[in-house]
Amino acid sequence: MFISHITIFRFFILVFILQLSIVLFAEPKPNKEFEQNSWINPKVSLENRFKALDSFYQLNHLKYPDSTLVTVNYHYQLAISANQPMQQFEAIKNKGNILRLKGLYNEAMDAYEIAYKIVKKLEYPLLMAKIDGNKGNIYAYQRDYISAINHFSKAL
């Protein structure tokens, strides 16, 4: 049986691509138990609890949106009880992002409205613009291009 050099070369290229894809797409598994313990543990500082919640969101919102949505709701309630408006903003904005990715546009828009009111009260125009951009994305997904352009323009 004769195997040509081209066939062997193709085989090695295929193996190389497979190995490369495994390395590129492999992610370290976050220690969810440790992170969860740190955000629900009242002995941990609020700052570290919020950092752990944000870390969980960043790692999981695309892969596990439903689980992350529960965590984001907890984040929001913790921020309200601690009277931390910037954390309230982050949590409700993240909730809007997850709902938007899930295609729940009306619920996402409601979350973005709450986020907008928070940063408007704090007089933070950069974050107001960010929320306007997110609203524009929702309108674009809904093919309401006039409203999308209006929000994108406000975001500039």
Instruction: Kindly state the greatest CA–CA separation across the chain.
Output: 77
CATH of the domain at 139: 1.25.40.10
Question: Does residue 80 lie in a domain region?
Answer: yes
Is the per-residue pLDDT at 91 higher than 90? yes
Question: Does residue 39 lie in a domain region?
Answer: yes
User: Cβ contacts of residue 138 below 8 Å, gap of 6+?
Assistant: 100, 105, 108, 109, 112
User: Cβ contacts of residue 101 below 8 Å, gap of 6+?
Assistant: 61, 62, 65
Question: Does residue 35 lie in a domain region?
Answer: yes
Distance from chain centroid for Cα 133? 15
- At 126-140, the pLDDT tens digits run 999 999 989 998 998
The candidate with the shortest Cα–Cα distance to 118, out of 137, 91, 138, 98, is 91
Considering the chain, what is the average pLDDT of its residues? 84
Question: Does residue 19 lie in a domain region?
Answer: no
Q: What is the pLDDT of residue 147?
A: 84
Question: Does residue 15 lie in a domain region?
Answer: no
Question: Does residue 22 lie in a domain region?
Answer: no
Question: Does residue 108 lie in a domain region?
Answer: yes
Domain that holds residue 122: 31-155
Distance CA 124, CA 81 (A): 22
Question: Does residue 125 lie in a domain region?
Answer: yes
Q: How many domains does the chain have?
A: 1
Q: What is the pLDDT of residue 76?
A: 97
Q: What number is the average pLDDT over the span 117-132? A: 93
Is the per-residue pLDDT at 122 higher than 90? yes
The secondary structure of 68-121 as a DSSP string is HHHHHHHHHHHHHHTT-HHHHHHHHHHHHHHHHHTT-HHHHHHHHHHHHHHHHH
Q: What is the pLDDT of residue 144?
A: 87
Q: What is the pLDDT of residue 15?
A: 61
How many of the other CB atoms lie within 10 Å of CB of 22?
A: 9
- At 48-70, the pLDDT tens digits run 999 999 999 999 999 999 999 99
Beta carbons of 11 and 1 less than 8 angstroms apart: no
The tokens of 109 are what? 């828009």
